[in-house]
């Protein structure tokens, strides 16, 4: 048995409970303090669980954040700034670097004819830029300078090789003017079945409410003159989609419907697609670019709707699955062929 094991043998029969009973309250508090498990590396724990409380001073009162901030600001203003170890004087030391001139060896020197030497000596920077481009020295210039010199028969790079590349100047594109449609007047004309009103365009009207659009859809049920109904980017959701579905079941004159760039979900899509099956006059339907992808089941229903409705000759939607995309393409091609044959007869 080693000496270390002999040293441990005398602690084998020690009664820990008796030792703890003999400790005073101060000694027990010190023992509990030493046995606390702290994790100073864990930044997710509060400060009280990352280090031991070493403050014996009793709290002076509740925290007053405004008073603390004022004290810190006053202390920062009253503290004198520390002087620099080496004060800055602005003196420049040393000599500026001058690139040494490299002498071209005799074997690398190129001798040109006197006419060429004279022409190159009198050439401007713009002419030298075009010559370098023609000779294929594209590393001496930017891509824009190189392709301008190659593709144009005239000198385009008037600034020269060492010039700073300027970006192309594009004409500013003005913002699209706001939609001039008067919603209240349009609603009255739809309700009165105005024969001169053939198109209802509410595109990009962000301030129109869903209740107003639903009221328009209800008025469209009995309208017989409106041919085009467009609701692009009007923040329409499923309640509007359900109102459109009810309108399609009863309207017998609408030919074009555009509900792109809205917040319609798969539930609203299914309601509109099922209603289109019951409509015989609609020839164009656009419903792409919604906030959320409707899903595979909706895309399959779109393809089935196009196969079931020969009147749809234009359909606007970007399919993500190959199967529904191929079926929809075949159905639209067939519908257009049927329309062509009907016009011939």
Least confident of 10-24, 190-204, 267-281: 10-24
In this predicted structure, what is the pLDDT of residue 310? 92
In this predicted structure, what is the pLDDT of residue 156? 58
Q: What residue ranges of the chain are covered by domains with CATH 3.80.10.10?
A: 183-344
Q: What's the rounded mean pLDDT across residues 142-166?
A: 60
Give how far the C-alpha of residue 343 lies from the chain's centroid of Cα atoms, to the nearest Å: 47
Least confident of 95-109, 197-211, 253-267, 291-305: 95-109
In this predicted structure, what is the pLDDT of residue 142? 65
pLDDT reading at 282 higher than 80: yes
pLDDT reading at 187 higher than 70: yes
Summarised one tens digit per residue, pLDDT across range 74-91 is 999 998 888 777 777 778
pLDDT reading at 13 higher than 80: no
Superfamily of domain 183-344 in CATH is Ribonuclease Inhibitor (3.80.10.10)
* Backbone phi and psi for residue 7, each to the nearest 5 degrees, phi listed first: -65, -35
In this predicted structure, what is the pLDDT of residue 99? 83
Summarised one tens digit per residue, pLDDT across range 28-45 is 888 877 766 667 777 887
- pLDDT band (50, 70, 90) for residue 163: low
In this predicted structure, what is the pLDDT of residue 243? 95
pLDDT reading at 210 higher than 80: yes
Percentage of residues in the chain having pLDDT higher than 90: 48
Q: What's the rounded mean pLDDT across residues 291-302?
A: 92
pLDDT reading at 301 higher than 70: yes
């Amino acid at each position: 048995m080693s000496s270390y094991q002999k040293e441990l043998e005398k602690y084998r029969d020690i009664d820990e409970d008796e030792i703890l009973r003999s400790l005073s309250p101060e000694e027990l508090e010190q023992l509990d303090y030493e046995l606390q498990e702290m994790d100073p590396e864990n930044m997710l724990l509060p400060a009280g669980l990352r280090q031991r409380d070493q403050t014996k001073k009793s709290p002076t009162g509740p925290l007053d954040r405004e008073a603390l901030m004022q004290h810190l600001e006053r202390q920062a203003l009253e503290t004198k700034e520390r002087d620099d170890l080496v004060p800055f004087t602005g003196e420049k030391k040393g000599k500026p670097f001058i690139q040494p001139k490299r002498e071209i060896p005799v074997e690398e020197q190129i001798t040109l004819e006197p006419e060429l030497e004279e022409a190159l000596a009198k050439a401007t920077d713009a002419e030298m830029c075009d010559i370098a481009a023609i000779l294929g020295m594209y590393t001496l210039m930017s891509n824009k300078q190189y392709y301008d010199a190659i593709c144009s028969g005239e000198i385009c790079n008037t600034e020269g090789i060492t010039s700073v590349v300027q970006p192309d100047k594009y004409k500013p594109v003005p913002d699209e003017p706001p939609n001039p449609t008067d919603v209240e007047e349009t609603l009255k004309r739809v309700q009165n079945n105005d024969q001169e009103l053939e198109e209802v365009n509410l595109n990009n009207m962000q301030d129109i409410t869903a209740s107003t659009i639903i009221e328009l859809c209800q008025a469209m049920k009995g309208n017989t003159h409106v041919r085009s109904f467009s609701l692009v980017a009007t923040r329409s959701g499923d309640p509007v989609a359900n109102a459109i579905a009810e309108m399609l079941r009863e309207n017998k004159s609408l030919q074009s419907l555009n509900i792109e760039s809205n917040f319609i979900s798969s539930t609203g899509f299914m309601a509109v697609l099922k209603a289109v099956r019951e409509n015989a006059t609609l020839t164009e339907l656009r419903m792409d670019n919604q906030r959320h992808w409707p899903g595979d089941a909706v895309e399959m229903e779109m393809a089935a709707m196009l196969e079931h409705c020969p009147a749809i000759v234009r359909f606007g939607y970007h399919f993500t699955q190959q199967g529904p995309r191929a079926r929809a393409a075949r159905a639209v091609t067939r519908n257009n062929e049927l329309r062509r044959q009907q016009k011939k007869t």
